[in-house]
Structure 1
Amino acid sequence: MTDTTPSEAKAAETSLGALLGEVTRDISTLMRQEVALAKAELKQSAAQSAKAGGLLGGAGYGALMAIFFLSVALWWALATVMGGGWAGVVVAVIWAVIAAILYVTGRRQLNEVQGAPQTVETLKEIPETLKRNEENR
């Protein structure tokens, strides 16, 4: 004696048209939910990307302004101790290091953006779910 699954019992009692209608509704609901999930995840990822982009842009502009004003002052101060040319090189190296640190920090934040990981996971589950239902037939 074989036990029938709930799906098999329902299939035996329900017409093919009703079953197809139910499957169509379920797939439609699933797709709408997946689209809603993808929208929510992408909105969050876009906000994180915009923040990281703003930080990178701000870091670039800040580095430019700092290099301009502070390097003139530092160059002038170092020129009293060493030659003006070498003072300019020292100032340029200092600001290059600062700009590199700002770039690395912004880049790290940009790499933390995850996209839509939950949507990808749930979409991967759909084929497996359909396979399980086919195996029960």
Structure 2
Amino acid sequence: MALDPQKSVPDLLSDLVRQSSSLVQQEMQLARTEVSEKVSKLGAGAASIGVAAALLMAGVVILLQAAVALLVSFGVSTPLAGLIVGGVVALIAYILLRSGMNAMKADSLMPKRTTEQLSRDATMAKEAVR
């Protein structure tokens, strides 16, 4: 855009406001488009995770059935083999559940270093005021 020496200062300011407004509108449209693309990718990723989880569950069930069949082939009765495999899986699930619950306790989520730093800063500020 060439500077027109015939334009007055109010005209130049008016052009500046108009072009700035247009630029902001274009930037907002670009941001909306970009967010829309990201949301689409996120949805596709979530769908893939859902399908993978379903297939993983099916695979785990088949592997557990194979473990029961293996125990039966070693001479363990079918009901006892099912109880053994089910008990081991339940124990593993319980351990993972407790571990996850401990990781999610409020104490473990508290930003301890930041809290300590803020406390030190407050103490230093009080001492500086005295």
The two structures have a TM-score, normalised by structure 1, of: 0.48
Does 1:27 pair with 2:20? yes
How do 1:48-87 and structure 2 match up within 5 A? 48-68=41-61, 70-79=62-71, 80-81=73-74
RMSD: 2.8
* Unmatched segments (≥5 aa) in structure 1: 1-5, 93-137
* Greater RCO, 1 or 2 (C-alpha within 8 Å, sep 6+): 1
SS of residue in 2 equivalent to 1:42: helix
Runs of 4+ in 1 over 4 A off after TM superposition: 81-85
Counterpart residue type for residue 27 of structure 2: E
Counterpart residue type for residue 34 of structure 2: E
> 1:40 deviation in Å?
1.1
User: Which protein has the larger Cα radius of gyration, Structure 1 or Structure 2?
Assistant: 2
How many residues matched? 81
**Alignment partners' CA distance in 2, 1:26 and 1:13:** 19
**Alignment partners' CA distance in 1, 2:29 and 2:43:** 21
1:86-105 deviation per Cα after TM superposition (whole angstroms, max 9, x unaligned): x95xxx8xxxxxxxxxxxxx
**Alignment partners' CA distance in 2, 1:54 and 1:30:** 36
Cα–Cα, structure 1 residues 82 and 31, in superposed 2: closer, same or farther, change >3 Å? Answer: farther
> 1:49 deviation in Å?
0.8
1:45-83 deviation per Cα after TM superposition (whole angstroms, max 9, x unaligned): 110011111211222232123312x03321122211487
